[in-house]
């Protein structure tokens, strides 16, 4: 996983700011914005774990689901020729374009999970 950290079932994107020699991260997949920073990778990991634990405590106090709810639909912008080819391909296999996109995403994710 490139530039990502995992703790429990939370993920954080990780970044480095060269001008301040600081690592910083942001918890992904939540409705709130929670970031953390440190000057070493080990400290960043510790700050991430602490941020998750504090977030979970706050969500429990508020009776709030800590994870973002996804509705299962999103817009995808691709080049017109690729769009045309995807429609033709999906028709050849008796699929809707949505089914083709969902199948493609699922296969790619499963393929990547096999590499872990």
pTM: 0.79
The answer to whether 93 touches 68, Cβ cutoff 8 Å, is: no
Checking phi first, is residue 37 left (phi over 0); if not, alpha (psi -120 to 50) or beta?
Answer: beta
Rounded CA separation 103/109 (Å):
10
The pLDDT of residue 112 is above 90: no
Cα separation, 92 vs 105, in Å, equals 19
> Residue 36: which residues within 8 A CB-CB, separation 6 or more?
12, 24, 25, 44, 47, 48, 50, 51
Q: Does the pLDDT of residue 115 top 90, yes or no? A: no
Q: What is the pLDDT of residues 11-61, one digit of tens each?
A: 999 999 999 999 999 999 999 999 999 999 999 999 999 999 999 999 999
């Amino acid at each position: 996983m490139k530039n990502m950290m995992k703790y429990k079932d939370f993920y954080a994107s990780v970044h480095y700011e060269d001008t301040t020699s600081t690592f910083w991260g942001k918890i992904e997949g939540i409705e709130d914005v929670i970031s953390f920073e440190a000057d070493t990778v080990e400290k960043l990991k510790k700050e991430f774990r602490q941020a998750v634990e504090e977030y979970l405590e706050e969500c429990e106090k508020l009776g709030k689901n800590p994870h973002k709810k996804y509705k299962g639909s999103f817009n995808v912008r691709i080049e017109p020729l690729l769009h045309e080819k995807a429609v033709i391909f999906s028709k050849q296999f008796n699929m809707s374009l949505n089914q083709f996109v969902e199948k493609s995403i699922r296969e790619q994710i499963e393929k990547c999970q096999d590499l872990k």
